[in-house]
Structure 1
């Protein structure tokens, strides 16, 4: 029988989850063309808000999550450079990569990480996993059939492959729906626009306002992040062993 790893989160982390999930549409609105047409300001407002919240997350996070947040930020920046400038799959409002974007990826990662470890969520993880898998399939399947979202379904297949390799798939399932919510908010407000609306890549697989299974791409970044974390830990461990040998000579 699998041992239950129920974790009672501190009040600060619980507030973090509520603020992030409830504040996603507001934050997307903050850097949207709609709001900036009424109030003249650049992305410094959004960047400052995200930087403050990001710093708070680092302060309240445990050691492992602290380093994962930093690594996810670096990996996300690399992914954004590829997505925005190399394959030009999407474009942000000012044709740049806002500072709040790689920081926001780390926040999304942290939210999924904490949410799937919540005592209540973990207690009912089996029915939650089953229902989330079904909902994710129907969302991507109907997007493919009725919206011709081929790109989104291909991303969903990547997501399924990653899901099959995980012993505890709840993290990826939580990430799927958090990412979906973020993409709906951002694309609906035109804070960023995918190639399906830009019409800049007719040779790419067709998609809608965003690929429905885009969480599969987030999952790939997570794999790189975790691989980097394990590699860095091994390097540090070997360095400490060599240092101890030198000190004992």
Structure 2
């Protein structure tokens, strides 16, 4: 099914949902300018302001979300803090401008997770799941190939291939992860362009045989760990409901 075959009325609904759920997060990317190197050197260090704005935005989204999304967002914040300190401060896989972990980052992970979750669970989006996934897959392929050819981003290209392979036999998960891939690309390009954080020119600064762009295009592969962690915690806390859902899906198969 081709995305351009979607009826105009439904396509408009999907676009509106995308703008509402994803567009607001993209707007935050532009706010990263206030944590940029340029702003810090020419105006003032305003990372605190960004943190305050993200806290306000996070709680606004949190209180407008359904109970399941709220719970997942809390898990995402907790795992985001742990992951950021482990990967950035512990392993030095990437570095923030002030060599810290800004408060807006783990909160941003949770907001990103929540926005994508709400977008992909919309009824009209799920109705055209295959068409949207097909379109996103083409966009991702173009992004990865372009980054490889023009920026020698071998690391990002390899991670993108890994993403496709991991989702090869998981069609129900593709919409969520492909949506995350695209949103992470926008976030990472904005953050690195402003100098809020920086990736080394090889994979994590360790694997010299994997040249990397700043940012590596397929870095959403690491973000997937956040989703898997949130999902595992949620299913363990709601074992009865989760087992019931699996039985329903098994009977429908």
Q: TM-score, normalised by structure 2?
A: 0.80
Q: Does 1:205 align with 2:210?
A: yes
Q: Does 1:193 align with 2:172?
A: no
Is contact 2:198–2:214 with CA below 8 Å preserved after alignment? yes
* Counterpart for residue 244 of structure 1: none
Is contact 1:196–1:209 with CA below 8 Å preserved after alignment? yes
Distance 1:210 1:134 in 2: 20
Structure 2: unaligned runs, 5 residues or longer: 1-9, 243-253
CA change 1:234–1:30 in 2 (3 A) is same
SS in 2 for 1:140: helix
Structure 1: unaligned runs, 5 residues or longer: 1-5, 238-249
Distance 2:189 2:106 in 1: 18
**What is the aligned residue count?**
229
* Structure (1 or 2) with the larger CA radius of gyration: 1
Distance 2:46 2:36 in 1: 11
Is contact 1:140–1:156 with CA below 8 Å preserved after alignment? yes
Structural RMSD (CA) = 2.9
Structure 1 residues 46-105: Cα deviation after superposition (integer angstroms, max 9, x where no partner): 110000111111111111111100001111112111221222111111100001100000
* Counterpart for residue 247 of structure 2: none
Distance 1:217 1:73 in 2: 15
Higher deviation after alignment, 47-56 or 75-84: 75-84
Is contact 2:21–2:118 with CA below 8 Å preserved after alignment? no
Distance 2:141 2:71 in 1: 32
Alignment of 1:1-249 (within 5 A): 15=20, 17-21=22-26, 23-168=27-172, 169-196=174-201, 201=206, 203=208, 205-234=210-239
SS in 2 for 1:205: strand
- Runs of 4 or more, structure 1, over 6 Å off, are 11-14
Distance 1:202 1:123 in 2: 42
Is contact 2:95–2:198 with CA below 8 Å preserved after alignment? yes
CA change 1:71–1:162 in 2 (3 A) is farther
Is contact 2:29–2:190 with CA below 8 Å preserved after alignment? yes
